[in-house]
A and B are shown apart, each in its own frame.
Chain A
Amino acid sequence: MTYIAKPKLRHPGIAVNRLGFTHRDYEGSISTLCAGCGHDSISFAIIQACFELNIEPHRVAKLSGIGCSSKTPDYLLGQSHGFNSVHGRMPSVLTGANLANRDLLYLGVSGDGDSASIGLGQFVHCVRRGVNMVYITENNGVYGLTKGQFSATADKGSKSKAGGFNADSPLDLVSMALMVGATFVGRSFSGDKPQMVPLIMAAMSHPGPAFIDIVSPCVAFNNHAGSTKAYDFVRAHNEAVNRLDIMEPREAIKVEYAPGTTEEVALHDGSTLKLAKLAADYDPFDKIGAMNYLQSRAAEGELVTGLIYMDSAPKDMHANLNTVAAPLNRLSEKELCPGSKGLDSFNASHR
């Protein structure tokens, strides 16, 4: 966190993307989160992903609910319209926004309280409806703004900073998203930018409901010994199943990944996803296998990260609803109103 305004100056050699934008053009207001908050790293990863993908910032709509995570859309993409809605209800607002204009990129940013507690219903229904979006949860297992209560993703047996013990079973949003039909599911860690950026880029290129759960330790309330969402704990138990690399027609993004088998997958926007397998027996296109793998690793106390599942031929809500190609918000009166003629037949059939 900083309370010093960002300087307007920029480095003369700052990188420019194909649209002529620099990183700065994808930034938002100054973050008011705590120094070292994982959420800020995620915001930066989103900025980087948009920059790399040459996305026009104003073609993104960013939506959130309430909480620390939900504040972050203000800290990125200042040229995008943002909507900080109601606690746990961002998914329904995003659904409506998407229905109105299918041409924008919808970025939903939420947290574990917002999506796994108060908004669990909206989260699963939005996913099962197949809304074309990138839905990111910044998951820290704790309510930060109200000072450290457990959330529904807190692991059983984890300890709160105030000494409380969580006896309740955790909700795993990744398993849930898989179960209810997300066509792109990933998990990452806010301390692992090389993993986060291509994962977000791949999600943004995916024309269906894409969900990424990002474990993001809360430096103020959930970064102590005994917490399973602390930096040290996650680093020690993070098991990446793959590393991604997005190949744009123009240039590749350099990411560091361990050598192993690689697989190339064409994405819908013309770019290519390079998938480096880290776990030899892991296939992200096998949904049942992914579910099994997640559960068996979780039983061992390991946190599976990377691209967990991807459907290479997704269908979205607009396909299900058979809506016209043009955004509904751009249809003219002439296209919408049947006029007096339409009423003649209606009246005649009601006599």
Chain B
Amino acid sequence: MPAIKSVNDFVVKFANVNGSGSASANEMFARSILRMGVPVTSRNIFPSNIQGLPTWYEVRVSGHGWLGRRGGVDLMAAMNPQTWDKDVASIDAGGYLFYDSSRAVPPSKFRDDINILRMPLTEICNATYHDPRQRQLFKNIIYIGALAQLLGIEAEVLEKLIGEQYKGKDALIAPNHQALRMGYDHARDNLANVCSLKIERANEVGERIFVSGNDAAGLGCVYGGATVAAWYPITPSTSVAEAFGKHCRKYRVDAETGKNKFAIVQSEDEISAIGTVIGASWNGARAFTATSGPGISLMQEFLGLAYFAEIPAVIIDVQRGGPSTGMPTRTQQADLLTCAYASHGDTKHVLLLPEDPRELFEFCAQSFDLAERLQTPVFVLEDLDIGMNDWLCEPFKWDDSRVYDRGKVMTAEELEAGKTFGRYLDVDGDAIPYRTLPGTHPTKGAYFTRGSSRDRFAKYSEEGPVYQDNMQRLLRKFDTARSLVPAPVITHAKPEGRTKCGVIYFGSTAPAVREALATLKADGVELDTMRLRAFPFPEAVTDFINAYDQVFLVEQNRDAQMRSLLVNECGIDPARFVSVLHFDGTPITARFIIGAIAERLSLSSKEAAE
């Protein structure tokens, strides 16, 4: 019997039933490995369902620190009979199957190239607990205890985590400890020396934190000074609004009065949500909404208004599989074009493309500065992979000397001093006009905001030249945005000179690309890279692309949307791009990227030889 032997480098997958309480136990398992100083990355694979359908939790243990999804499974904890066949089939040869052996499973349901770890979980639970709910919940803790023993995770680490999790509900600590020990002891007594996957203490985690993107986004909005949030529930963005509320309750309640320095409205739909954001921003509050693709579709008309009437707005789009309901609980990067050009008529919008929860926190905070500086909607485009999974990332930092950029708002004093106010007048040459807030001055600075054409002094006009003048200025304003948005991150493989080909990537694809490049480098293939972080594209983007014969463009959508955007906006020959497209709803893997690049490069070298 072959048996995979590995220390600090393997994939454990849990197959569970949605709503069975497995999620928190599984997360505790992942955290316990982090506490052992070994990096992990975890991914929830879940259905659009509350209870009953299959759900999986995948933990990749990587002492090297690779945080993308790896693909493949070394140890499967098969807790869901519904998906047994598929789960057993997905185990790598030599891998391990851990299952509940309380009921007999026919021999034909196993494979002979994998190692079977049997544990009568239900029997143990039924013998110990009488309440059905307890039987279910403690079963999760018992199997975590067993796996900890099998993999060499210290029981004390898990006990400490349980203590932290149930702090304040102390009565729950002892029974959970007991369940954990029950699993641990059973594995020690019955499954000794059968598992060669091991966790060994290391020091590879450092100061890093384990956090989900949506939690980070909510916190970023608090730090960015958002006071108004309007949203409509939609997976996978709901937890952004919930996180904002949670962090506000911690940081934004006035200690003296108990009153809130924030307002959260659960709107009747996404149209109303963006309308409320626009109304609040028009009136000088920092406001945002969080949504996903279908919500972006509903917001289109309002987004055109905000663009044309020049009203700040922050939209956090947690992308999921589209079109339509598509794959609502799976990840994609497929809203690029619909956001970049949202609404009818000629429109363009600022997009920010964070790579992980840390950058998402940063970009959410920064998005309010950009929206108010540019007086336009700003989209923060994250995705389900970043948003709903815990990622290991650098701790969040805040520079206390940082000052919000509230943009060009003319004050009562400036108006009183006789400063000329033209709402759509380009005074500074950057195409960004000044605005006034309602209620500022008794006789000066009032104007009428509308989505209809108007002149530089906000007076209604349907004159062609007046309309064109305004539209051209909006285009120049977008040019100004180019220099304000986050620059791309460019890396060179060699200290001097360039590689023949380059790689472009963005967003949640980052960890898989990094791992793929390291593997390719070990095989002698070196590639310079550019990670896009925003649209409109700074000049460095075009320069990078033009410096290479061919550029691999890695995206998680079917239609190579970023390629369209680059071709369209930078005037680049589409033939320069080789698209690497992954869009089955699972997060892209290094293996997939390596395969695509290696295939293309060997073809190229053959072509070159011919």
* Residues of A participating in the B interface, judged by any CB pair closer than 8 Å: 56-59, 61, 63, 73-74, 78-86, 89, 91-101, 103-104, 121-122, 125, 129, 318, 321-325, 328-331, 333, 335-340, 342-343, 346-347, 350-351
Known: A321-B260, A337-B225. A347 touches B209 (CB 8 A): yes
Asked whether A78 lies within 8 Å of B400 as measured between CB atoms, the reply is no
What CA separation (Å) do A85 and B147 show in the bound complex?
59
Whether A85 contacts B443 by the Cβ 8 Å rule is: no
Chain A interface mostly helix, strand, loop or mixed?
helix
Contact (A350, B210) CB under 8 Å given A74-B448, A78-B446, A101-B439: yes
A293 to B176 Cα, complex, angstroms: 63
Q: Given A79-B443, A86-B275, A93-B275, list of 5 further CB < 8 A pairs? A: A56-B442, A81-B439, A84-B448, A85-B305, A89-B272
The A-contacting residues of B in range 251-270, CB under 8 angstroms, are 251-252, 254, 257-265, 267-269
Contact B283 A96 (CB under 8 A): yes
Which listed residue, A322, A339, A346, touches B219 by the CB 8 Å rule? A346
State how many angstroms separate the Cβ of A272 from the closest Cβ of chain B: 27
Q: Shortest distance in angstroms between B447's beta carbon and chain A's nearest beta carbon?
A: 7
Question: What is the CB-to-nearest-CB distance from B190 to chain A, in angstroms, rounded to a whole number?
Answer: 33
The answer, yes or no, to whether B287 is at the interface (CB within 8 Å) is yes
Per the 8 Å Cβ criterion, residues 459-518 of B in contact with A are 460
**Also in contact, A340 and B225, with CB within 8 A (given A86-B302, A86-B451, A96-B283):** no
Interface code B112-151, partner A: CB below 8 Å = 1, 0 otherwise?
A: 0000000000000000000000000000000000000000
Q: Contacts A84-B451, A328-B227 given; indicate if A61 touches B439 (C-beta within 8 A).
A: yes
* Distance from B388 Cβ to chain A, minimum over Cβ atoms (Å): 15
Pick from B81-89, B391-399, B530-538, B545-553 the stretch touching chain A: B391-399
| Contact between chains at A96 and B227 (CB < 8 Å) | no
Residues of A within 8 A of B209 (CB): 347, 350-351
| Minimum CB distance partner of B258 in chain A | A322
Are B451 and A338 in contact, with the CB atoms below 8 A?
Answer: no
> Chain B interface: which size bin?
35 or more
* 18 A-B pairs (CB sep. < 8 Å): A63-B279, A79-B442, A81-B449, A83-B449, A84-B449, A89-B275, A89-B301, A95-B265, A96-B277, A96-B287, A101-B439, A122-B268, A323-B260, A331-B261, A336-B227, A337-B222, A338-B251, A350-B211
Residues of A with C-beta under 8 A to B274 = 92
Contact (Cβ within 8 A) A96 B278: yes
Contact present for B403 and A333 (CB under 8 Å): yes
CB within 8 Å for A338 and B222 given contacts A80-B446, A95-B265: yes
Considering only residues 175-191 of chain B, those with a C-beta below 8 Å from chain A are none
Q: Indicate whether A104 sits within 8 Å of B439 (C-beta atoms), given known contacts A85-B451, A96-B283, A97-B282.
A: yes
Looking at the assembled complex, report how far the CB atom of A197 sits from the nearest CB atom of chain B, in whole angstroms.
24
Q: Which residues of A contact B208 (CB under 8 A)?
A: 351
Q: How far is the CB of B14 from chain A (nearest CB, A)?
A: 21
Please pick, from B222, B254, B265, B396, the residue contacting A324 in the complex, using a CB distance under 8 A. B254
- Identify which of A96, A333, A338 contacts B282 (C-beta below 8 A): A96
Q: Indicate if B436 sits at the interface (CB-CB under 8 A).
A: yes
- State whether A101 and B265 are in contact (beta carbons under 8 Å apart), knowing that A329-B227, A351-B210 are contacts in the complex: no
Q: Mark B228-269, 1 if CB is under 8 A from A, else 0.
A: 101000000000000000000001101001111111110111
Does the CB pair B263–A328 fall under 8 Å? Answer: yes
- The A-contacting residues of B in range 270-314, CB under 8 angstroms, are 271-285, 287, 301-302, 305
